[in-house]
């Protein structure tokens, strides 16, 4: 083979470029790693993950895992992860509810209602999230009354500038049974709906799924929680001196971060909901009504399934954004994984590379897991074209 045709061969060139790129990347990596190890030797930092087993000595104001100062740094890491997850999950639930309400209000035929919803969306989307975080923390919560003048909620929870003090059950035993009951009733609903779908495919008959659904999804859990709450002794906070004793204190940082995440994300979710419902062609609901379906069934059988298909991918993105945005808490020292681990623990140990890698891994692992779950769900509800 002659040389000219060899170097002009497309496959040869393609491989040449790719190998050159890999060599470049490997070279850069080696360069960076060598610099880093030299710099670390100079600064007297040993690399490796041994620091995780050292005593942390860092006090955390908001702990769900039973961590104390004398535990090791790895335990501190899990405190951060738990706090990140807690605020993320609650914010996603509340933002979804608020976002759906605003999105539907935006589509309302009532001119004023839809204008107000539109104004809210335009207001929230064009202002930085950090602004909301600082505003809720320094503007709203700092302006709440002192503990002595707390705003009482039904006489058991108290809102003041040190957060919300809520009652705590003395023993969690009854709540474990309630959780089990709720889980069992949800599994029953899932089995019942699978059975009803099969029966409908076979015979065309509808099962009274709505009644069963409301019973199993809402009524049974509500009864279980009500029973557990009544059968448990509660530790209700009482004012002693300048502050409340007893109960559980939800710190102001959590309240501010949650409020900011919910109000901000709801604006984005509302736009997704509006876009999703508008994307279902008008002919679809007209055709359904021509077939004699009632309005409720048009919505539940024709419009919502198609809107959900459009809404799922952007909604997933928003949920992942909430996870990532929960790190904005670092600006007001909410003890999430970024501020506890990447902030406090890194300051104490100086193990920059290890700590950064672990922190980023938390977000990447959760993000990949959620994406995989959503891709599976998406494939399940995707349009099957033949």
Q: Which residues bind other proteins (CB under 8 A)?
A: 14, 17-18, 21-22, 25, 32-33, 35-36, 38-40, 42, 110-113, 116, 122-123, 125-131, 134-135, 138-139, 142-143, 320, 324-328, 330-331, 338, 342-343, 346, 352-353, 356, 359-360, 363-364, 367-368
User: Minimal distance in Å, beta carbon 277 to other proteins?
Assistant: 19
User: Which candidate, 233, 219, 127, places its Cα nearest to that of 174?
Assistant: 233
* Residue closer to other proteins (CB basis): 310 or 346: 346
Beta bridge partner(s), residue 3: none
User: Minimal distance in Å, beta carbon 78 to other proteins?
Assistant: 18
Beta bridge partner(s), residue 158: 152, 165
In whole angstroms, give the CA distance from residue 149 to residue 339.
Answer: 31
* Residue closer to other proteins (CB basis): 160 or 325: 325
Q: Is 257 strand, coil or helix?
A: helix
* Residue closer to other proteins (CB basis): 165 or 351: 351
At 256, list the tokens. 């501010």
* Residue closer to other proteins (CB basis): 160 or 327: 327
Q: What is the dihedral of CA 87, 88, 92, 95, to 10 degrees?
A: 50
* Residue closer to other proteins (CB basis): 115 or 300: 115
User: Minimal distance in Å, beta carbon 113 to other proteins?
Assistant: 6
Q: Specify the DSSP element, H or E, that contains 166.
A: strand 163-166
User: Minimal distance in Å, beta carbon 27 to other proteins?
Assistant: 13
Residue carrying the six token digits 């809102």: 159
* Residue closer to other proteins (CB basis): 61 or 139: 139
User: Minimal distance in Å, beta carbon 140 to other proteins?
Assistant: 9
Residue carrying the six token digits 């659904």: 213
User: Minimal distance in Å, beta carbon 114 to other proteins?
Assistant: 11
Q: Is 161 strand, coil or helix?
A: coil
Please report the sign of the dihedral spanned by the C-alpha atoms of residue 94, residue 88, residue 326, residue 271.
negative
User: Which candidate, 236, 211, 213, places its Cα nearest to that of 157?
Assistant: 236
Whether 151 contacts 159, CB under 8 Å: yes
* Residue closer to other proteins (CB basis): 23 or 239: 23
User: Minimal distance in Å, beta carbon 29 to other proteins?
Assistant: 10
In whole angstroms, give the CA distance from residue 95 to residue 263.
Answer: 7
């Amino acid at each position: 083979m002659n040389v000219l045709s060899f170097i002009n061969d497309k496959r040869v060139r393609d491989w040449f470029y790719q190998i050159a790129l890999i060599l470049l990347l490997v070279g850069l990596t080696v360069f960076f790693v060598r610099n880093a190890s030299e710099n670390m030797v100079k600064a007297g930092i040993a690399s490796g993950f041994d620091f995780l087993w050292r005593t942390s000595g860092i006090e955390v104001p908001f702990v769900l895992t039973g961590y104390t100062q004398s535990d090791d740094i790895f335990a501190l890491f899990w405190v951060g992860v738990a706090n990140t997850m807690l605020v993320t999950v609650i914010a996603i639930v509340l933002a979804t509810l608020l976002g759906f309400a605003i999105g539907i209000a935006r589509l309302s035929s009532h001119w004023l209602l839809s204008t107000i919803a539109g104004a809210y969306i335009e207001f929230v989307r064009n202002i930085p999230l950090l602004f909301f975080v600082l505003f809720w923390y320094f503007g709203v919560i700092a302006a709440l009354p002192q503990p002595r003048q707390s705003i009482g909620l039904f006489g058991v929870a108290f809102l003041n500038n040190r957060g919300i003090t809520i009652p705590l059950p003395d023993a969690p035993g009854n709540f474990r049974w309630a959780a089990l009951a709720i889980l069992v009733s949800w599994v029953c609903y899932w089995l019942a709906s699978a059975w009803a779908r099969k029966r409908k495919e076979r015979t065309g008959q509808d099962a009274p799924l709505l009644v069963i659904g409301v019973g199993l999804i809402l009524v049974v859990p509500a009864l279980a929680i009500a029973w557990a709450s009544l059968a448990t002794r509660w530790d209700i906070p009482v004012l002693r001196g300048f502050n409340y004793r007893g109960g559980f204190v939800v710190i102001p940082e959590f309240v501010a971060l949650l409020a900011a995440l919910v109000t901000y994300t709801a604006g984005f979710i509302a736009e997704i909901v509006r876009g999703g419902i508008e994307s279902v062609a008008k002919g679809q609901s007209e055709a359904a009504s021509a077939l004699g379906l009632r309005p409720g069934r048009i919505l539940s059988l024709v419009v919502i399934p198609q809107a959900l298909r459009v809404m799922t991918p952007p909604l997933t993105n928003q949920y992942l954004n909430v996870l990532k945005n929960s790190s904005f808490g670092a600006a007001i020292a909410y003890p999430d994984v970024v501020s506890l681990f990447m902030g406090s623990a890194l300051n104490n140990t100086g193990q920059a590379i290890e700590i950064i890698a672990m922190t980023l891994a938390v977000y990447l692992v959760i993000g990949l897991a959620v994406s995989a779950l959503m891709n599976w769900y998406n494939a399940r509800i995707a349009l099957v074209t033949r």
